[in-house]
Amino acid sequence: MTADNRADHRPASPPLTERQEARRRRILNASAQLAARGGFDAVQMREVAEAAGVALGTLYRYFPSKIHLLVATMQDQLQHLHTTLRKRPPAGADPSERVAETLMRTFRALQREPQLADAMVRALTFADRSVSPEVDTVSRLTTAIILDAMGTEHPTPEQLSAVRVIEHTWHSALITWLSGRASIAQVKIDIETVCRLIDLTAPETGDRRA
Amino acid sequence: MTADNRADHRPASPPLTERQEARRRRILNASAQLAARGGFDAVQMREVAEAAGVALGTLYRYFPSKIHLLVATMQDQLQHLHTTLRKRPPAGADPSERVAETLMRTFRALQREPQLADAMVRALTFADRSVSPEVDTVSRLTTAIILDAMGTEHPTPEQLSAVRVIEHTWHSALITWLSGRASIAQVKIDIETVCRLIDLTAPETGDRRA
DNA sequence: ATCAAGTCTGTAACTTGTTCTAGATTAGCG
DNA sequence: CGCTAATCTAGAACAAGTTACAGACTTGAT
């Protein structure tokens, strides 16, 4: 539905052999598993390599840094999530309700593996320019999830800005929760607050207040 | 004006001697200077120690980690900024305009030292629980700046949520700009978009569109 | 002025991300 | 099959954050 679903997270340049695909998968699984145990710090490259049954050099050939690895892990998890969400779309009447519902549902999913969430989100916000393409992919996936929830086919630039702001809020709120500086209730309120922007920027009702 | 201005960023427990205060200052300056040159990576603890004329162990006694150091550096810079902003308050008519203006002014200030901004913001979002108190101080400072711009004396819970969302957007937008994934124009649009929430949550005008 | 407690210095060691290298394996091809 | 290039492995080596420690210096109280 997002136009191109091929190579959504692969470099795609040289098609991987079966064994390589399997290695990649083992690495990603090992990463997620270690992260789920002990968060960002527990994802140690030597351990990932060992758990995946792969030499350190190979790990680095597949993922050029720990940040790349964790961002790829996030891509992977998001992909799952997106699929799941498609199967049971949010039920709210307004777009803003549906988006808030979707995000809170996602949030509850992350709550189940807070350490994994920690590792992925920290990597995402810590990523520097060298990881831009990968981070961008994650961002596009998130945008797709939100637009899906809105049910908007052709968003206006204004709406896209609202979606970006929602994403900003989403990431940042997640971080404050993960680092223990905000409660779940507060995150919920903030998500609902920012989702109001969707009504505000709906094109049908004119610019705003018609 | 924020109720307590003493010990705004000091552990405050044992009052520092003059020489200690000076050491602390040298360290903070060295940190900012190195950061301004090469960003996060250029702030190397050994170099900071040397530049500040202090032993490595001493540096760690003052700031228990690189993240602590950079978050403290951010506190320091924010304090300056807050003072500057107080002298020349924003001129807009609406609270939302004034907040957007203030944030964009801050943004332009950061643009002048993008590497320093990079180091500080990356540290801030990368900080884990052990840095919560310090990060919280930064957050309170930011909140104070925004509330100042709004000119609101007694914000409602709704307004506080809006302010939090603005802060989320601010940090996250800054990151996307610093990592080259968003243009300045886009940041401006997003800031202006999120600032609309302020009008939306103004108590006087009733719920909205009064 | 002197003593005890707390700080600071210089330096080495340890940890974990990252890079490098030499030799073994594998994949694709004639 | 037999060759060549690419890939993989094992392990050493290096970089920067962090910790540890012995000895010198300061501070504050007597």
- A150 token code pair: 């809105």
Q: Give the tens place of pLDDT for each residue, B182-191.
A: 999 999 999 9
**CA quadruple A167, A126, A185, B75: dihedral sign:** negative
Q: Are B59 and B49 in contact (CB under 8 A)?
A: yes
Q: Are A120 and A73 in contact (CB under 8 A)?
A: yes
Own/partner long-range contacts of B2-8 (Cβ < 8 Å, ≥24 apart):
B2/B140, B2/B144, B8/B75, B8/B79, B8/B137, B8/B141
Q: How many CA within 13 A on the CB side of residue A115?
A: 13
Share the mean pLDDT of chain B.
90
B12 sits within 7 Å of strand C by its CB:
no
Q: Give the tens place of pLDDT for each residue, A181-197.
A: 999 999 999 999 999 99
Does the beta carbon of B205 lie under 8 angstroms from any beta carbon of chain A?
A: no
Q: Give the tens place of pLDDT for each residue, A30-78.
A: 999 999 999 999 999 999 999 999 999 999 999 999 999 999 999 999 9
Q: Give the tens place of pLDDT for each residue, A113-152.
A: 999 999 999 999 999 999 999 999 999 999 999 999 999 9
Cα A98 to Cα A92: distance, rounded to the nearest angstrom: 5
Closest nucleotide to the alpha carbon of A17, via C1': C27
Contact residues, chain A, for B40 at CB < 8 Å: 128
Domains of chain A: 18-200 (1.10.357.10)
B128 sits within 7 Å of strand D by its CB:
no
Which residue, chain included where needed, has tokens 């899906």? A148
Does the beta carbon of B206 lie under 8 angstroms from any beta carbon of chain A?
A: no
What is the structure's pLDDT at A13? 64
Cα B180 to Cα B184: distance, rounded to the nearest angstrom: 10
Taking the CA of residue A28 and the nearest CA in chain B, the distance in Å comes to 22
Res. B59: pLDDT tops 70? yes
A65 sits within 7 Å of strand C by its CB:
yes
CB contact under 8 A, B181 and A127: no
φ/ψ region of A20 (left if φ > 0, alpha if ψ in -120 to 50, else beta) reads alpha
Q: Give the tens place of pLDDT for each residue, B24-54.
A: 999 999 999 999 999 999 999 999 999 999 9
Of B135, B168, B209, nearest to A179 by CB-CB distance is B135
B22 sits within 7 Å of strand C by its CB:
no
